[in-house]
Chain A
Amino acid sequence: MEKQGATAAIARQKANTYLRGLMPLFGFMGIIIIFSILTRGKIVTPENLSLMLSQVYVLMISSMGVFMIMTVGALDFSQGSIIGLASIIFCWVSNYSIVLGVVAGMLAGAAMGAFNGFFHVKFKIASFIVTICTMYFFRGLCKYITTNGPVPAITNVLALNETWLKLLLTGIMLFLGFMVWHFTRLGCDLRAIGAGETAARFSGSRPDLLKFLVFMASGAITGFACFINVIKVGSITGTAGSQLETQILIALVLGGMPISGGAKARFSNIIIGTLTYCVLDMCLPMVFPVPATQQLVKGIVFLIVVALTIDHESLRVIK
């Protein structure tokens, strides 16, 4: 009898855990419903949907890199500056070949990520400090290069600004990311490092090497996203991509990503998080048309959504 009670309780606990995992999804659907009502259904018009989609691509792709960084328990505040600088490199090289430009953008991103990773791993400086410093450093380079005006890409890149292409590229990246996360040992290793670095090392993972590689890969992924960034606008100014880092971090947290990383990181955090962010970002101006109040409302709304959907259990797991 008692045994039966215990089994039922375990089942209940499992169901609870499962439901808590679904909270970000409920949050996303709730936001869509609320804003559909507030805007009287305007958010589902084709124009608005395509507007929203146009924001999703870059955010979703670069979130994948930061997702891995956060899984090992680190943070990255330099993503906006990385995409800015990588975009400039892409613009230059695109004048010779667009494909080479994409490769060059990724290499530049990888180099900047490696720079972050090197300082974080080799000198054991907390990642948020390293990346706040490099955020200024890379941004400074961007501003310096664009002193005499924006850096233009070859003009025919604008012709590539097609929804199908952007969707395809984002889809491919997501697919690759998903495969690597779920079907190679990387996902397992990264979660273990985030959950307990020393124990992971004693289990055969290589925390230092993997942390370095994760920063580098994240840079390369964002370097790839710069291609989509450039074909939208055609030329790069000194402030291109600024605020991307905060957008990524908020998006991931909205998606249910535990701030301290570890075993509770799920690939779906990326997708749900970025979609939730983009819906909020698009809808708020429609409901609050005065720009001055938008930031204020945005801050409050984000705080409420995070407070409601965040998985407190995963924060309680002390590393």
Chain B
Amino acid sequence: MSDVILRSENLCKRFGITTAVNDVSLEFEKGEIHGLIGENGSGKSTFCSTLCGIYPVTSGRFLLEEKELRARSQVEANRRGVSIIVQEMGTLPGLTVAENIFLGEEDKFMRGIVKNTGAMNREAQRLLDGYGFKRIIASKMIDNYSFEDRKLIEIVKATYFNPKILVVDETTTALSRSGREELFKVMDRIKSGGNTVIFISHDLDEVIDHTDRISVLRDGGLVDTVKSSEASAGELKLLMVGRELTNRYYRTDYDQSVSDEVVLAVDNVSVPGEMQNVSFRLHKGEILGIGGLSECGMHETGKAIFGASYGRSGSVTLKGGYSVKSIPGAIRHGVAYASKDRDNESVIVADSIRDNICLPSLDDMSKHALLNNRKLDGFARKNAELMSVKMTGIDQYVSALSGGNKQKVVISRWLGKDSDILVLDSPTRGIDVKVKADIYALMSELKERGKSIIMISEELQELLGMSDRILIMKDGRINGEFMRNRNLGERDLITKMV
């Protein structure tokens, strides 16, 4: 059984001054699903990117079936039988589904110099049907499909040619429960075909459930490889972080410590096509969780509270009677918002950490409309250090930071603003265990200081672990409400979600 299909020998990858992958030697066997875990920036994605020809290696090499593999592009890697499904969007807009699936392989459908589009569409549709994605039409533009469907199309694109090695890089965060099941089915099929899957995820339970062996990376180096059947999430965390994590991961209190004081009233809020007649109250010092399937309208709810929805009706009223109608108005009256789409709607990636942190607070810091730049620098530095953002300085551009650090910048800007209501949409999406723990600890601390938090999340464990109250949404409406309770389980929430 233990036939090695792929091996890396002393692999190193440097980006300028940073060493992302440091001397990693790993073996992958035929017919196994191999988990790869580690904190943000531990080098898992970089390792796989060099395998798939996205980056060149600095030193060391990959051996695929004992022959050296040095792909210079993803297409070349594909030809050798290595394919990847990435974390962010890997499909190209403006092309049809079929064109996306066969990108780089158009030659197959050429009759002389004319492309046989019909044959391409038929072939693509046959593949889609074979995967059970009948509702996706091959000849349609990919832009017609949701984020989740596009991920499914990517899965087809990456696996239809029976790759010897499939890399699944943090794909599950973009998928709903049913989408994940589809992905796991595909992974199992590849495994039973005698091929190998490399599976990267932050969700440790998911990794333990769906892999045969797990390798742990820390700071670019390989820490250990363990059998999944013998691993526990606790041990893996320890390996990833290299030190004992505090027990305080989620909240441990269950003594309903919420005041009756209403700080935010949402009444009959509707956004065409997104949500209908949503009403609820948020109290002082409350952590209100909102959950559901990803298209249930909960993400739009967050935007609506922040004044960022187009065509909203109904009212969002704050404690003092102020009615939120625009983003600047919401910010001025103490509402903060961290979007699920971190790179486009939360941080300005092509700008400095300093500007990102100061932007919402500029009016507070100006005197007769004039700003003091030294004060701005101090403000940015203080809040960035408060959240221990890993940076070379406040002049550094946010684009250079990892996902977890970007989220820290987002949070530090709102801490600096001293907002009373924080709307956090998927606050720990794609973030490693340690930063996650930091964020949960911060939420508890803010709650104790009397701040109110709305946490919108697709992670049921997170909702159960952190919320004083949970609202479950379905098809744009609130479909269930649960109070914090030790006996509440995922099953209870799911029945209201689907």
Q: Is the CB of A203 within 8 A of B359?
A: yes
Chain A nearest CB, measured from B233 CB (Å): 31
A13 to B351, CA, bound (A): 17
Q: For residues 337 through 367 of chain B, which have their beta carbon under 8 Å from a beta carbon of chain A?
A: 337, 339, 343-352, 355-356, 358-360, 362-363, 366
- Are A202 and B345 closer than 8 Å at their CB atoms? yes
- Distance in angstroms between the alpha carbons of A10 and B391 in the assembled complex: 10
Residues of B306-331 whose CB lies within 8 A of A: 306, 308, 327-328, 331
Contacts of B102 in A (CB 8 A): none
Of the residues B328, B350, B360, B363, contact of A319 by C-beta under 8 Å: B350
How near does chain B come to A177, taking the closest CB pair, in angstroms?
A: 15
Is A46 interfacial (CB-CB < 8 Å)? no
Binary per-residue interface labels of chain A (305-319) against chain B in the complex, 1 for a CB within 8 Å, 0 otherwise: 000000000000111
Number of chain A interface residues as a range: 20 to 34
User: Which residue on chain A has the smallest CB distance to residue B362?
Assistant: A185
Partner of A184, one of B331, B337, B370: B370
Q: Mark A276-312, 1 if CB is under 8 A from B, else 0.
A: 0000000000000000000000000000000000000
The answer to whether the Cβ of B17 comes within 8 Å of any Cβ in the partner chain is yes
> Which residue of chain B has the shortest Cβ distance to A199 in the bound complex?
B348
Contact of B17 with A202 in the complex, beta carbons under 8 Å: no
How long is the Cα–Cα vector from A202 to B337 in the complex, in angstroms? 8
Residues of A within 8 A of B176 (CB): none
B351 and A196 contact, CB distance less than 8 A: yes
The residue among A10, A196, A203, A319 with the most chain B CB atoms within 10 A of its own CB is A203
Spot the interface stretch: A92-100, A187-195, A245-253: A187-195
- Among residues 239 to 286 in chain B, which have CB atoms less than 8 Å away from a CB atom of chain A? none
* Alpha-carbon distance A188/B413, docked complex (angstroms): 15
Q: Is the CB of A203 within 8 A of B399?
A: no
In the complex, what residues of B have CB within 8 A of residue A6's CB? Answer: 17
Are A263 and B363 closer than 8 Å at their CB atoms?
no
Q: Cβ of A262 < 8 Å from any Cβ of B?
A: yes
Q: With A185-B371, A263-B350 in contact, is A198–B344 under 8 Å at CB?
A: yes
- The one of B348, B363, B371, B413 in contact with A200, judged by C-beta atoms closer than 8 angstroms, is B348
Residues of B with C-beta under 8 A to A164:
none
Say yes or no: A188 contacts B392, CB within 8 Å: no
**Which residue in A183, A203, A318 is a CB contact (below 8 Å) of B360?**
A203
CB atoms of A192 and B366 under 8 A apart: no
How far does the Cβ of A115 sit from chain B's closest Cβ, in whole Å?
A: 26
List which A128-187 residues lie within 8 A (CB) of chain B: 179, 182-185
- Of A6, A199, A201, A318, the most chain B CB neighbours within 10 A belong to A199
**Contacting residues, chain B, for A318 (C-beta < 8 A):** 350
Given known contacts A188-B358, A198-B345, A204 and B328 CB-to-CB distance under 8 angstroms: yes
Contact in complex: A184, B350 (CB < 8 Å) = no
Is the CB–CB distance between B327 and A196 below 8 Å?
Answer: no
B114 interface residue per 8 A CB criterion: no
Does A9 sit within 8 A of B, measured CB to CB?
yes
Taking the nearest CB of chain B, how far is it from the CB of A294, in angstroms? 38
Contact of B350 among A14, A185, A262 (CB under 8 A): A262
- Interface residue? A218 (CB, 8 A): no
Assembled-state Cα–Cα distance A205/B370 (Å) = 17
Q: A191 near B345 (CB under 8 angstroms)?
A: no
Contact B327 A204 (CB under 8 A): yes
Closest chain B residue to A209, Cβ basis: B328
User: With an 8 A cutoff between CB atoms, is B113 at the interface?
Assistant: no
Report which residue of A196, A202, A204 has the largest number of chain B beta carbons within 10 angstroms of its beta carbon: A202
Residue of B with least CB distance to A6: B17
Is B371 a contact partner of A195 (Cβ separation < 8 A)?
Answer: no
Does A206 sit at the interface, judged by CB under 8 A? yes
Whether A192 pairs with B355 at a CB distance below 8 angstroms is: yes
Instruction: Judge whether B397 is part of the interface by a CB distance below 8 angstroms.
Output: yes
B369 within 8 A of partner (CB): yes
Contact A188 B355 (CB under 8 A): yes
Complex Cα distance, B392 from A6, in Å, reads: 10
Q: Which residue of B lies closest to A260 (CB)?
A: B350
Given contacts A198-B344, A199-B347, whether A317 and B17 have CB atoms under 8 Å apart is no
Please pick, from A183, A192, A202, A205, the residue contacting B346 in the complex, using a CB distance under 8 A: A202
Residues A204 and B359 in contact, CB atoms below 8 Å apart: yes
Interface centre among B16, B351, B392 (most CB of A within 10 A): B351
> Closest CB-CB distance, B416 to chain A, in whole Å?
12
Quick one: which of B1-29 are within 8 Å of A by CB? 16-17
Residues in chain A near residue B343, CB distance under 8 A: 199
Are B351 and A263 in touch, CB under 8 angstroms?
A: yes
* Given A185-B366, A185-B371, A204-B328, also A263-B355 (CB < 8 A): yes
| Residue among B306, B344, B355, B397 having the largest count of chain A Cβ atoms under 10 Å | B355
Residue numbers in A under 8 Å from B351 (CB-CB): 191-192, 195-196, 262-263
Chain B 412-452 near chain A by CB (<8 Å), digits 1 or 0: 01000000000000000000000000000000000000000
Contact between chains at B346 and A199 (CB < 8 Å) = yes
> How far apart are B17's CB and chain A's nearest CB, in angstroms?
4
B178 within 8 A of A: no
Shortest beta-carbon distance from A52 to chain B in Å = 33
Contact (A188, B362) CB under 8 Å given A10-B17, A10-B392: yes
Report the Cα distance A201→B345, complex, angstroms: 8
Closest to A264 in B: B350
Name the B residues within 8 Å of A204 (CB-CB).
327-328, 331-332, 359-360
How distant is B97 from chain A, measured CB to nearest CB, in Å? Answer: 26
Partner of A206, one of B328, B355, B399: B328
Q: How far is the CA of A195 from the CA of B398 in the complex (A)?
A: 11
**Residue pair B352, A263 in contact (C-beta under 8 Å):** yes
The answer to whether the Cβ of B373 comes within 8 Å of any Cβ in the partner chain is: yes
- Expressed in whole angstroms, the Cα–Cα distance for A77 and B332 within the complex equals 37
A2: nearest residue on chain B (CB-CB)?
Answer: B19
Residue of B16, B356, B371 near A203 (CB, 8 A) is B356
Asked if A192 and B359 sit within 8 Å, CB to CB, the answer is yes
A217 to chain B, nearest CB (A): 15
Contact B345 A199, beta carbon cutoff 8 Å: yes
Say how far B339's CB is from chain A's closest CB, in angstroms. 6
Contact A9 B348 (CB under 8 A): no
In the complex, which residues of chain B have a beta carbon less than 8 angstroms from the beta carbon of A200?
348, 359
Instruction: Name, among B347, B349, B393, the residue most crowded by chain A CB atoms within 10 Å (CB to CB).
Output: B349
Considering the chains assembled together, what is the distance between the CA atoms of A201 and B327 in angstroms?
A: 7
- Chain B minimum-CB-distance residue to A262: B350
Residues of B close to A189: CB separation below 8 A: 359, 362
Residues of A within 8 A of B370 (CB): 179, 183-184
B359 touches A188 (CB 8 A): yes
Q: Is the CB of A182 within 8 A of B373?
A: yes
Top 5 nearest A-B pairs by Cβ distance?
A: A9-B17, A196-B348, A185-B362, A195-B350, A195-B351
List the interface of chain A (C-beta within 8 A of B): 6, 9-10, 13-14, 179, 182-185, 188-189, 191-192, 195-196, 198-206, 262-263, 317-319
Sample of 4 further A-B pairs with CB below 8 A, known A188-B371, A200-B359, A202-B308: A9-B16, A195-B350, A202-B339, A262-B350
17 interchain pairs (CB within 8 A)? A13-B392, A189-B362, A192-B359, A195-B348, A195-B349, A195-B351, A196-B351, A199-B346, A200-B348, A201-B327, A202-B345, A204-B328, A204-B331, A204-B360, A206-B328, A263-B351, A263-B352
